[in-house]
Structure 1
Amino acid sequence: MNKLSRNERLTVILKLLSAHKVLSNAQLAKLMQVTPKTIRCDLVKLEQEKQVIRTHGGVKRSEQFDADKYSLDSLMAQMATDRIESDIIPQGFNDDGVNQMKNKVFILGSFNVDIVATLERFPQPGETLHSLGSTIGAGGKGANQAYAAAKTGASVTFMTKIGKDQFSHFAKEHLASTGIDKTLIIESDDKPTGNALIYVSEQGGENMIAVYSGANTSIQHEEVVQAEQHILSADLFVTQLENNIDAIKQAMMLAHQHDVKVVLNPAPYHERTPELIPFVNMVTPNETEASLMSGIEVTDLATAKQAAIKINQMGVETVVITRGSQGALLYENDRFMEVGAIKSAVVDTTGAGDAFNGALAAQLVKGNSLLDAAKYANAYASLAVERIGAANMPDASLVTTRLN
């Protein structure tokens, strides 16, 4: 596409905003093949003319918005053909032409540095074993899920908090490399970056994890407020329980009040989990977490169904219980659905649940049914366990083959 004049760019921005309530600077710059600085200058002009309101990293329509302020020429036909139908700007229009933004996910969650030791077997209490190898990598349930959601096609905004320490640069570099659209990184003055000590057994690829939360559990009220616009512009809000519960609850309430669907992955389980339930549309526990939530010990499919019903009765519309090598159980609208296990060459199960949750969120905001989204997520997680490391998310192009 040829370089656009300024008036042509302004025409495009206004026309896109007539169909999309919110756009990001990065989307516009990529679409029109100009620098972010050029887009910012264009948006400043439109804001001065009271056409738009600039937000952090993006723009939305003002009350005085007029899509036809600038003349529309043949450029728009070219743009519609060449770009708008691409995956740069998400599609999904209502009959009235208002875009439903079917792939925007906001994830509030943790970032941890994972220190992983691989062993032939887990040590007994008081026993010292030589490890077969060790690595330092990126992790944290929030970061992993954001990575998986971005890998599987969602437009992701990820909010996290790290320390000002030797791991902060590592965290920023990793998050910048994941394909996550926006990262809202807060830096703590007094808490270190979270970290996890992980043992991985060669016998079956199972893991044992000890997490030090650090800065993850120090998110302040005003820091959530600063992220409000990002939360409200999302189609799906996803969180876990590795951050401080007060911040999680505040963010969930914001999403819930503005009809943004809320998905809670209740991991690791927290005693205050029940007070979050009124703001949750979907919950995605594993069998252990489902047991703790429901008070019913989950040992098989029958008890998993009992737990799902109990959690639903607590006020959650949709329950998805991940069952490891047994697949997943779904409960929605008084109906059970099962997603069968997929055989895989298990190397490391660390992050498998995160791969499932991130892929599930991405498929749901694309408009897929719960069952289809869960089947996809199950296949994606089966690919993740064939890789070493929680943050080593597989390529989405492999999922179709695995499903077949």
Structure 2
Amino acid sequence: MSTLLVVGSANADHVLTFDNLPQAGETLMCQEYRLELGGKGANQAVAAARLRSSKQTVSFISALGDDSNAKKMRDTWTIDGIDLTGCYEIPGQSTGTAMIFVNQLGENSIGVVPGANAYLLPKHIQQQQTLFIQAKYMLIQLETSIDSVHEALLLARQHQCTTILNPAPAATLPEEILSLVDIITPNETEALTLTGVEVVDQSSASKAAEYLHRQGINKVIITLGSKGAYISEQGSGQIIPAPIVSAVDTVAAGDTFNGALMVALDEGNNLIDAVIFANKASSIAVTRHGAQSSIPYREQLNR
């Protein structure tokens, strides 16, 4: 068996749907409201669990509150077969919360209240050293403290575990963080924040990738929404197009991509084939509403 490790956030998503996203100072009546399970870390763990092969297991390190949302999350993740050994309950804290506004084109704006996510500390990461020893790949994001992110990357490197950083939400990162990353997966906005290069075409994507390569990152994948993803490895780059679909909700599309990418790489696929697999998975996710409820299963992807 091969262990895939995800470290990151878990949120209860309050989703409001509008014709158009509200502008500054504007009040709009929403068309629909629903409560979804989300958080980038949890979404990516669910994606990996649903898309994995029978020879892979998925473990998740996270911090939850002591509330009903945390119980619901644990129950749901258990159904998906995720190992929750590394999930902590933080007394007196609420589980992380996100407010998500979605328009009729599937575009979204998101605000996040960290809650218990802010209490995932380096000591918690250290306590889960066994998971890092077992894992072949570790996937992490930036919705938990930068100190915990750094600790997880250090521990993964110490145990020869390949690291994948999804640098979301967008943030500038020091060289000591980037130097521990094997594979990085920013979108256009995150690439601009990291590199100062506005990604608008293949040439600008190449410049952004070169900057990240100079920080010691071997593989760069810049996700481009409906256009697919730009990949760069060993001085060679290209765009891998995504399937053409009618998007209704892009929440968790990037998370689905990242979870799927880790699964495919662990199965021995090269970077091109792994991104093709991840593009397919995220293309299914955008045709469905919700965060974790939109993430497909392996048999659906095969069909």
TM-score, normalised via structure 1 length: 0.72
Structure 1 residue matching 2:16: 3-state secondary structure: strand
> Is residue 389 from structure 1 mapped to residue 290 from structure 2 by the alignment?
yes
Counterparts in 2 of 1:79-118, with a 5 A limit?
Answer: 90=1, 103-118=2-17
Partner residue of 1:198 out of 93, 100, 104: 100
Structure 1 residue matching 2:77: 3-state secondary structure: helix
* Larger-gyration structure (1/2): 1
Structure 2 residue matching 1:235: 3-state secondary structure: strand
Q: Is the 8 A contact 2:121 2:145 kept in 1?
A: no
Q: Is the 8 A contact 1:138 1:174 kept in 2?
A: no
Structure 2 residue matching 1:236: 3-state secondary structure: strand
Q: What's the CA shift string for 1:243-295, capped at 9, x where partnerless?
A: 11111111110110121111100001233454311111010000111111111
Q: Is the 8 A contact 1:108 1:142 kept in 2?
A: yes
Q: What's the CA shift string for 1:384-404, capped at 9, x where partnerless?
A: 001100112112223244xxx
Partner residue of 1:233 out of 134, 139, 144: 134
TM-aligned CA distance change 1:346 to 1:321, over 3 Å: same
Shift of 1:124: 2.0
Q: Is the 8 A contact 1:116 1:198 kept in 2?
A: yes
Q: Is the 8 A contact 1:242 1:267 kept in 2?
A: yes
Identity of aligned residues (%): 38
Structure 2 residue matching 1:268: 3-state secondary structure: coil
> Is residue 347 from structure 1 mapped to residue 248 from structure 2 by the alignment?
yes
Structure 2 unaligned spans of 5+: none
Counterparts in 2 of 1:59-70, with a 5 A limit?
Answer: none
Structure 1 unaligned spans of 5+: 1-89, 91-102
Partner residue of 2:236 out of 335, 343, 363: 335
In the alignment, the residues of structure 2 paired with residue 183 and residue 109 of structure 1 have an alpha-carbon distance, to the nearest angstrom, of: 14
Counterparts in 2 of 1:93-172, with a 5 A limit?
Answer: 103-153=2-52, 154-172=56-74
358-367 or 122-131: which moved more? Answer: 122-131
336-345 or 310-319: which moved more? Answer: 336-345
TM-score, normalised via structure 2 length: 0.95
Q: Is the 8 A contact 2:242 2:276 kept in 1?
A: no
In the alignment, the residues of structure 2 paired with residue 178 and residue 395 of structure 1 have an alpha-carbon distance, to the nearest angstrom, of: 10
Shift of 1:223: 1.4
TM-aligned CA distance change 1:181 to 1:219, over 3 Å: closer
Structure 1 residue matching 2:170: 3-state secondary structure: coil
Q: Is the 8 A contact 2:165 2:184 kept in 1?
A: yes
Structure possessing the higher relative contact order (Cα contacts under 8 Å, 6 or more residues apart): 2
In the alignment, the residues of structure 2 paired with residue 221 and residue 296 of structure 1 have an alpha-carbon distance, to the nearest angstrom, of: 32
Q: Which amino acid aligns with 1:347?
A: V
Shift of 1:299: 1.8
In the alignment, the residues of structure 1 paired with residue 81 and residue 278 of structure 2 have an alpha-carbon distance, to the nearest angstrom, of: 18
Tell me the matched-pair count.
299
Shift of 1:171: 2.1
Match in the other structure for 1:59: none
